[in-house]
Structure 1
């Protein structure tokens, strides 16, 4: 649908232009004429996200992520939901973030909506006229959704907020037509018009450029466990980043600050008190009445300290000096005696919470990853405050003391209460409880004991990793609390909590039977559902997930004689699907962020397993939108983090050419070429006197401990720039643009290749070193990562290429080994180029087979057991679902099944199977022009029997390994 002109006005409500974490409801009731509608279109945009209802029916969610000034709008055909001659209602639930993160740039709260109703004029053959227009304006009604707690914790630095919902405070029936807005306690008011379409900050409105996402109801597969549990006496989550640096809500860059958090703990009786950090340990500098806590215990990142205290008041001082990218600071206290925090502050400004901030005495905003800027830790007032035993000792620092704002403080800390379980008793799962995962009329009853304070926890296995929206139906007493925490991995007694991600919901029940569907997207496999404060038995009728992904069909397929490889291909496909939202995302749980470099590999896998084009094109178009933040383009978009990974920009430019070669979309090449040229020209300005790329940035390639400093000459970066320049020259040729610039890029690539060979090859080691540091020191670290790229980019040639080629088969033990499946993708590319398919299959079986051994249903972000994992022995990987890791989905189809593009647009295809030790394989690869190619082959002795089904418009060539005979059967598909 083309861009359109708007009559509607942007509207909002309340007193704040951009409130923090506000859910706001909008309604418009109207009457339609009695004539039958021909068609009706509802167009809308919102900041930040919306859910649309028409006459009580949920229609859709949106909008897709975008840069702030260029907002996408959605259009829905809703004529089938409207009632001619009757009252109708449009209801919109808008979720406004109120801060910048990794997938949203802060704007302001707003809704823009326009309904176009078309009727047939006169005779049936007459044109259709627009007879009615319903526009957002000040006749719409609005109210904050009172059940939602705007103080809920940040999910993570990358995302928005966790969820607290008190169903007692809101009528969930607000979306149908018969809802009454008026009443003595009504909070509904007329919406405020804030400006026309085209107003700042949404200067340009563009039609959605991809299909709507799916919603598929998924029921769990089993119950894992049932426990009686007890949470700590008190938990809280705080946004210290926003508290210490209020302006940090305008960006997503990491910050640092120097300061303290302080409060007064009151004990009515003597007893043992345990204080700790269930969400991650930041400091050992915790003082209670001036005494430093030293007896810390617990497995990191959790840490706790126990103290024997008499009845009285205790001044707790915590040094929270930190490098802080965002998220929540979780603090908890448990005691066998009653405790409370004092909420009045003698001789201090009255706080909104029990805590005050002392400082910050120094702050820093870090643009580059791990910026080395040092904080001032010798500030005299900071040193003076250390170890303070009471408030009086801080009187001279009054100008540094500020209350912790209530909006940044939350005692409904589901994550802290779920991670730190101070008591737990395991029970057998009664058969009736199994009904919790079955959509039957008969409910499961959660265990309950009258007059007991016990909480009960059930762990629910969805069966495999999923992404989407959690829903449930329960019958409960008013005030009963349902806590849900999503996690990715459980093995025996070990639970891998999502440290750094508050993946939680707290739902407070009203009395009676009720349903709830969360509007917050989450990724997980297991739901830890805990019932707290139940005054009566809780009946659980169903719990489910509305799985939501980019709409794909299973056009790609792969099977072979090795069941292990079949399952590896299946988890690669499932991983890729879960990481396809409105862009490719790195993972559905921790981040949900479009990382530019990751998407190059994800696009290639997608071509083979799904064949979707629009999502790739959309991702590629989004990247140059960061040019105002950096001409080098940032590494995740659209985002408020001004971070540059040079390799990610190089992968993007390479992916632009690969998309054109795959789709034969010359128009895209014409459109994108100026953006590719622009950034690469800026990179060429970063060459030093030796002709090497020498720059500051997040110079990342792999999570393994290779020598890739954030400043200096990094070899793998130089190698990828060579490849990017050559690919860009080919893109320019296809676009028919800038022959002179293309030639200059080719010349620059040759010069850079020569400089790499002259300065970065170590003769004694017979390998390329990892880097030259900014002080001129040559790295003594050699890695397989660097050698793989030297081979793959063609910079290593002649004898050097032979040497590196031998390393592909037998990596020297002294070299840093590959640490992530992302890097394995390039390793497999190099092995395929070298014709070493047996080694590729061996590596896939070993590494991905290990994932399956540990019950993986998706591909891991990391390989375990190396230093960058930063984890205990139980932690196999951080993220258990990472699309940058789905390499087998591409290589099993491209190399083993042997289906390869020979010409742009797949007008000519090469079938070149590599059986290795397999006896048969079959599969399908979707074609960009529609349809697919089906291939089946079997090996009998030295003969390969091959069957190919392809569209008649496609030319097919079949080759078999040297020394084999072939029998070919060609079938033209319809």
Structure 2
């Protein structure tokens, strides 16, 4: 750090919990020792005390132990910075995969359910990580035996409810089906999906908003969230209901479909009642004395767009809050929440802003020599537990794995289970790009390059998948040549 403190070794408050160091008392002669405690770090510091003759260290190593991923996805383009960002994002995701997705390899080393939603989305298209995705969904569902909604971290003796994480679990169920097309798995967790939503419905207050005395965080930012009624919770609940509606349609559960649609419509009406005409935004929260929070944030605007909540008459104002937030608005603080900001930008047609943000947010990491992506951005105003970030390997931040192939390679799935894709690359200012994603049917690879006035696109499609090319506005001045090939290197 700037104070020349070795992070994670000199803060008693944190070291008492995480103990990334260890002490070993030697006997005379040759010593061998393997620690069974998981640790993480890039550098090792030795302090040798009370020795009366020379000490020779013959061998010291870290034994890497992660989920046995097979790296099949890849990405390369004419800008080395994006290549490096993709590489350190992939490395981080691997380090946060054990028998479940975990938040990080040093701190809690825990299945945080909200973190796992992001990581699963990245893991499906990068490692075809269906089995670990299913396991995380099932483990989290078991917390419904103890809690009214899905717990924040599982399994755990800490009785922690973080509503945003519980609602993102419901969204993760649809994510898994959308990737895999596995109807049998969807059937096996359907009752848990409904139980999670019914548990949340019991906490709707007199305004029709979700209200509960739990940890109502969504982002490391300046949101006014220290209250029982925080609007982003109600919006994320709508997101979970939207996901459940799609599941009900797949399962043809007409009775529950009607109930879910009615609940969603009630929640949307309740949320829209709190649109502030003067501020042209939603408030962050409703205080316990009934006062509406003076604080606003980007988050309520982008979530209201992402989950189709905001009324049409206020849609342009919400988009303005996303693209050009007022000075007093709380901005996105962490890479975790940035995932949902990026999803919104893509939905409203501003994918180029995602690439711009990736440059702004991740290049400072690689400029500092990072080999993994951090829990918070270097530019973030909020840094939990120190400079420049508490966790230097946090896979909730690996969003480039998902968005670089979607935007620069233009690969987007249009039917669940890898049945159908479109390829529509946004070439931007790049000269070439190529790469591959994993799908349930195999590898889907794309390469493109600009040669004078020509754009040459090559596509390797997986067996049994329908893949079609769709021209993008960035191709307008170019002559197109599309080829379907056996293999892309």
TM-score range, shorter chain: over 0.9
* 1:729 and 2:245 matched: yes
Aligned residues of 2:417 and 2:440 also touching (Cα < 8 A): yes
Tell me how far apart the structure 1 counterparts of residues 227 and 402 of structure 2 sit (CA, whole Å): 31
How far residue 804 of structure 1 moved from its aligned partner, in angstroms, is 1.8
Tell me how far apart the structure 2 counterparts of residues 940 and 492 of structure 1 sit (CA, whole Å): 51
* 1:881 and 2:393 matched: yes
Task: Find the counterpart in structure 1 of residue 47 from structure 2.
Answer: 530
Tell me how far apart the structure 1 counterparts of residues 481 and 438 of structure 2 sit (CA, whole Å): 24
How far residue 867 of structure 1 moved from its aligned partner, in angstroms, is 5.7
Aligned residues of 2:163 and 2:233 also touching (Cα < 8 A): yes
Aligned residues of 2:141 and 2:150 also touching (Cα < 8 A): yes
Task: Find the counterpart in structure 2 of residue 626 from structure 1.
Answer: 143
1:944-955 paired onto structure 2 within 5 Å: 944-955=455-466
Task: Find the counterpart in structure 2 of residue 551 from structure 1.
Answer: 68
3-state DSSP class of the match of 1:558? Answer: strand
Task: Find the counterpart in structure 2 of residue 769 from structure 1.
Answer: 283
How far residue 973 of structure 1 moved from its aligned partner, in angstroms, is 5.5
How far residue 497 of structure 1 moved from its aligned partner, in angstroms, is 2.6
Q: Deviations over 1:184-230 (max 9, x none)?
A: xxxxxxxxxxxxxxxxxxxxxxxxxxxxxxxxxxxxxxxxxxxxxxx
How far residue 939 of structure 1 moved from its aligned partner, in angstroms, is 3.0
3-state DSSP class of the match of 1:802? Answer: helix
Q: Deviations over 1:753-775 (max 9, x none)?
A: 111111x2110011111111121
- Which one of 302, 315, 318 corresponds to residue 804 of structure 1? 318
* 1:813 and 2:330 matched: no
How far residue 845 of structure 1 moved from its aligned partner, in angstroms, is 0.6
Q: Greater share of strand residues, 1 or 2?
A: 1
Task: Find the counterpart in structure 1 of residue 256 from structure 2.
Answer: 741
- Which one of 430, 441, 445 corresponds to residue 934 of structure 1? 445
1:806-955 paired onto structure 2 within 5 Å: 806-864=320-378, 868-870=382-384, 875-929=387-441, 931-940=442-451, 943-955=454-466
How far residue 864 of structure 1 moved from its aligned partner, in angstroms, is 4.3
Task: Provide closer, same or farther for how the CA distance between residues 941 and 739 of structure 1 changes in structure 2, counting only shifts above 3 A.
Answer: farther
- Which one of 35, 39, 50 corresponds to residue 518 of structure 1? 35
How far residue 691 of structure 1 moved from its aligned partner, in angstroms, is 1.6
Task: Find the counterpart in structure 2 of residue 434 from structure 1.
Answer: none
How far residue 943 of structure 1 moved from its aligned partner, in angstroms, is 4.1
Aligned residues of 1:896 and 1:914 also touching (Cα < 8 A): yes
Task: Find the counterpart in structure 2 of residue 705 from structure 1.
Answer: 222
Task: Find the counterpart in structure 2 of residue 476 from structure 1.
Answer: none
How far residue 834 of structure 1 moved from its aligned partner, in angstroms, is 1.9
Q: Deviations over 1:709-753 (max 9, x none)?
A: 241x211111111111121121122234x3211211111111211
3-state DSSP class of the match of 1:753? Answer: helix
Task: Find the counterpart in structure 2 of residue 651 from structure 1.
Answer: 168
3-state DSSP class of the match of 1:528? Answer: coil
Task: Provide closer, same or farther for how the CA distance between residues 940 and 837 of structure 1 changes in structure 2, counting only shifts above 3 A.
Answer: farther
Tell me how far apart the structure 2 counterparts of residues 497 and 723 of structure 1 sit (CA, whole Å): 37
3-state DSSP class of the match of 2:140? Answer: helix
Structure 1 stretch displaced more, 890-899 or 935-944: 935-944
How far residue 857 of structure 1 moved from its aligned partner, in angstroms, is 0.9
Q: Deviations over 1:530-552 (max 9, x none)?
A: 11111211111111111010011
Tell me how far apart the structure 2 counterparts of residues 715 and 696 of structure 1 sit (CA, whole Å): 14
How far residue 940 of structure 1 moved from its aligned partner, in angstroms, is 4.4
Aligned residues of 1:719 and 1:795 also touching (Cα < 8 A): yes
Gaps of 5+ in 1: 1-489
Tell me how far apart the structure 2 counterparts of residues 607 and 933 of structure 1 sit (CA, whole Å): 13
Task: Find the counterpart in structure 2 of residue 61 from structure 1.
Answer: none
Task: Find the counterpart in structure 2 of residue 688 from structure 1.
Answer: 205
Tell me how far apart the structure 2 counterparts of residues 906 and 688 of structure 1 sit (CA, whole Å): 41
Tell me how far apart the structure 1 counterparts of residues 219 and 33 of structure 2 sit (CA, whole Å): 41
Task: Find the counterpart in structure 2 of residue 720 from structure 1.
Answer: 236
- Which one of 561, 567, 573 corresponds to residue 78 of structure 2? 561
Tell me how far apart the structure 2 counterparts of residues 676 and 871 of structure 1 sit (CA, whole Å): 35
Q: Deviations over 1:86-116 (max 9, x none)?
A: xxxxxxxxxxxxxxxxxxxxxxxxxxxxxxx
1:136-535 paired onto structure 2 within 5 Å: 493-498=4-9, 499=11, 500=14, 501-535=18-52
Aligned residues of 2:407 and 2:426 also touching (Cα < 8 A): yes
Aligned residues of 1:936 and 1:948 also touching (Cα < 8 A): yes
How far residue 797 of structure 1 moved from its aligned partner, in angstroms, is 3.9
Tell me how far apart the structure 1 counterparts of residues 427 and 471 of structure 2 sit (CA, whole Å): 9
Tell me how far apart the structure 2 counterparts of residues 853 and 671 of structure 1 sit (CA, whole Å): 46
Structure 1 stretch displaced more, 802-811 or 565-574: 802-811
Tell me how far apart the structure 2 counterparts of residues 595 and 793 of structure 1 sit (CA, whole Å): 23
How far residue 682 of structure 1 moved from its aligned partner, in angstroms, is 1.4
Aligned residues of 2:334 and 2:380 also touching (Cα < 8 A): no
- Which one of 756, 759, 762 corresponds to residue 271 of structure 2? 756
Tell me how far apart the structure 1 counterparts of residues 434 and 212 of structure 2 sit (CA, whole Å): 47
Q: Deviations over 1:879-898 (max 9, x none)?
A: 11111111111110122211
1:26-41 paired onto structure 2 within 5 Å: none
Tell me how far apart the structure 2 counterparts of residues 876 and 599 of structure 1 sit (CA, whole Å): 23
Task: Find the counterpart in structure 2 of residue 957 from structure 1.
Answer: 468
Q: Deviations over 1:674-729 (max 9, x none)?
A: 00101101111111222211222111100112111241x21111111111112112
Gaps of 5+ in 2: none
TM, length-normalised to structure 2: 0.94
How far residue 868 of structure 1 moved from its aligned partner, in angstroms, is 3.7
Task: Provide closer, same or farther for how the CA distance between residues 940 and 718 of structure 1 changes in structure 2, counting only shifts above 3 A.
Answer: farther
The two structures, once aligned, show a CA RMSD in angstroms of 1.8
Task: Provide closer, same or farther for how the CA distance between residues 592 and 560 of structure 1 changes in structure 2, counting only shifts above 3 A.
Answer: same
Tell me how far apart the structure 2 counterparts of residues 906 and 678 of structure 1 sit (CA, whole Å): 29
How far residue 871 of structure 1 moved from its aligned partner, in angstroms, is 5.3
How far residue 608 of structure 1 moved from its aligned partner, in angstroms, is 2.2
3-state DSSP class of the match of 2:46? Answer: strand
3-state DSSP class of the match of 1:512? Answer: coil
Task: Provide closer, same or farther for how the CA distance between residues 867 and 951 of structure 1 changes in structure 2, counting only shifts above 3 A.
Answer: closer
TM, length-normalised to structure 1: 0.48
Tell me how far apart the structure 2 counterparts of residues 730 and 835 of structure 1 sit (CA, whole Å): 23
Q: Deviations over 1:824-882 (max 9, x none)?
A: 1111111111221221111111111111122211111113465642556xx11111111
Q: Greater share of helix residues, 1 or 2?
A: 2
Tell me how far apart the structure 1 counterparts of residues 225 and 450 of structure 2 sit (CA, whole Å): 45
Tell me how far apart the structure 2 counterparts of residues 530 and 739 of structure 1 sit (CA, whole Å): 67
